[in-house]
Amino acid sequence: MRRLPHIIPALLSGILLGLTTIGNGPFYHVHWAIFFGFVPLWATWLGERSVRTIFWSGWVCQFVFTLIAFHWLAYTVNEFSHMGLAFSTLVLLFYCAIANLQFPLAGVAWHYLFHRDTVPAWLKVTSLALLTALFQRMGTMIFHWNFGYAWLYMGWPGMQLADIAGFRWLCTVSILLNAAVLLTWFSRKETHWWKPAAIGLGTFALLNLLGWVHERGLPAADSVAKVLLIQPNIGNRAKEKLDHGEENFREVILLKYIAQTEVALHALASPPDFAIWPENAFPSAIADKNLTFGIAPLLGDFLRRNRLALLTGSFGIENDQITNSLFSLNQKGTWSSTPYNKIYLLPFGEYVPFSDTFPKLKEWLPDVRDYGRGAGPLLLESGGMQIGPQICYEGLFDSVARDLANLGAQLIVNVTNDSWYGHWMEPWQHFYITMAKAVENRRPLLRATNTGLSGVILANGKILEMSPPATEWHGYYEVPYLKKPRPTVFMGWGYWIDWVFLACALLACLAARLRKPRV
């Protein structure tokens, strides 16, 4: 009971921060809580002397936050393991226990560095925000997520500055604005109570003004790509329930893609430059350039018949291992360029972590696939355009899109299968995190998924039509792009701006902390 006053603010912060997560449906306007969600938790920490209480209240906050924001993990575990709701719930609870330990660890670090009676309130609060932002960059989740993506989701003009310092810097700004709110609250009875509020509101307004001006200075596109996206909505259970042998099963899947694409093509006034099928759409390996093995001739005939170029997910082979790959096929039904093999594999979905050191793990987890990794990033060619390929999970890493843009990609294409994650929150989270890379690198990004969400975002951050989830759908887009896109600041040294800012600001706080007070 003595700890109850600390648990209630921790629960409140966890709920507020959890509801800011993209894809939370009716809680759309709660995304503003990225600017004050930490305040209840931090307010109790300022008067707390026990490091143990700080850690556990921070742990409760991160547990509640993770449970609200990523509860879809239980569905995913069940889809992969088929071991039932009880097992999946236990996995979710374990994940919630460790996924965002940066929250309490930041509090512990702050306690030892800045929690002294001689430290002024502004320095305590500012250093706490900076340490939280720093630890946020070193989070323990299996994919890269941060509060900055809410700027894109909400359409705030400040998101345009992500091509300078990235969405992680906008995450840092968001956390620092929590400090302005907290300082305003603590100084509410003082004469100059309004100063922290003015600084916070002024910062937010200035960033949005700069973003608005920055967008209007972007170069105009000089080319247009005509693209057809195909979303077949083939669910996991639907595949398993088909009453066919393995080879017939693969043919049925391929024929569904072909039929849906031909219907879409016949409805178009002019042919697209290329079509995009999602991850693993072609349900077999494409083993040779001329598509002569297995059911690949069916695909080649379809492309020649419709004079269609196609980017499709499929399986490849590299170093005698099956790979998760993306192929560029031309109107002649042959490879346009060397296929791309996925580099960043999904842990426990596409490989077993640490199995190279402990081979026994593969025997314990026989249902986990064991894909080979690609040799590195490369570009695909289609219709004379340079395409930067990503496959599913890779869209969550800003380094992948940066590497492709630095190689000269004019467009970025992401193919995904999100059917393992349900239709509630994860598809929206995955969509916006992936699409954010278009703003950071100023390249249009085209995303084709199996069950949704599919769509296109332009280089200026404008999101075009999104597909509905869990629906058979196709979309035709005319995508403006630059033949010779300029490199963004973020593609070079701008990636380090947030690190440098946090390091310099924390060093300044430490210097202020160590400065002897005047007598």
Residue 230 is inside which H or E element, if any?
Answer: strand 223-231
Q: Is there a domain that residue 357 lies in?
A: no
96, 40: one domain: yes
Q: Which of 257, 270, 426, 231 is nearest to 346 (CA)?
A: 426
Are both 180 and 227 inside the same structural domain?
Answer: no
* Closest listed residue to residue 275, CA positions, set 324, 349, 225, 223: 225
The total number of structural domains in the chain stands at 2
Q: Residue 185 belongs to what domain range?
A: 4-217+495-514
Q: How far is Cα 197 from Cα 188, in angstroms, rounded to an integer?
A: 10
- SS3 of 96, please? helix
Does 127 map to a domain? yes
Check whether residue 227 and residue 152 sit in a common domain.
Answer: no
Q: Which residues contact 302 (CB under 8 A, 6 or more apart)?
A: 258, 261, 262, 308, 333
Label residue 270 exposed, middle or buried (CB < 10 Å: 0-12, 13-18, 19+).
Answer: exposed
Q: Is residue 490 part of a domain?
A: no
Q: So what's the pLDDT on residue 242? A: 46
Nearest to 312 by CA among 320, 321, 296: 296
Paired residues of 388 in beta bridges: 412
Calpha distance 329→275 (Å, rounded): 10
Assess if residue 356 is contained within a domain: no
Both 234 and 206 in one domain: the answer is no
Q: Which residues are catalytic?
A: 279, 342, 392
Whether 136 maps to a domain, the answer reads: yes
- Each of the 519 residues of the chain gets a pLDDT tens digit; together they read 355 567 899 999 999 999 988 776 666 568 899 999 999 999 999 988 899 999 999 999 999 999 999 999 898 888 876 678 898 999 999 999 999 999 999 999 999 999 888 889 999 999 999 999 999 988 766 677 889 999 999 999 999 999 999 999 999 999 999 999 999 998 888 878 889 999 999 999 999 999 999 999 999 999 999 999 999 998 776 555 544 455 578 888 999 999 999 999 999 989 999 999 999 999 988 988 999 988 999 999 999 999 999 999 999 988 888 899 999 999 999 999 999 999 988 777 776 676 666 666 666 666 667 788 888 899 999 989 999 999 998 999 999 999 999 999 999 999 999 988 888 889 999 999 999 999 999 999 999 999 989 999 999 999 999 999 999 999 999 999 999 999 999 999 999 999 999 999 999 999 998 875 554
Residue 111 placed within a domain: yes
> 306 and 166, same structural domain?
no
Q: Is residue 17 part of a domain?
A: yes
Same domain, 57 and 97: yes
Burial class from Cβ neighbours inside 10 Å (0-12, 13-18, 19+) for residue 217 reads exposed
pLDDT in tens, 491-500: 999 999 999 9
Q: What is the CATH number of the domain that holds 272?
A: 3.60.110.10
Q: Are residues 445 and 466 in the same domain?
A: yes
User: Is the domain of 198 the same as that of 89?
Assistant: yes
Residue 338 shares a structural domain with residue 467: yes
Per residue in 245-269, pLDDT tens?
555 788 889 999 999 999 999 999 8
- What is the Cα 142 distance to its own chain's centre? 11
Q: Do 370 and 442 share a structural domain? A: yes
Looking at the structure, do residues 188 and 228 belong to the same domain, yes or no? no
d(CA 321, CA 373): 9
The reply to whether 439 falls in a domain is yes
Strand partners, 479: 225
Q: How far apart are CA 426 and CA 419, in angstroms?
A: 10
Q: Which two tokens stand for residue 26?
A: 């009716």
| Same domain? 93 vs 238 | no
Query: How far is Cα 141 from Cα 69, in angstroms, rounded to an integer?
Result: 12
Q: How far apart are CA 355 and CA 362, in angstroms?
A: 6
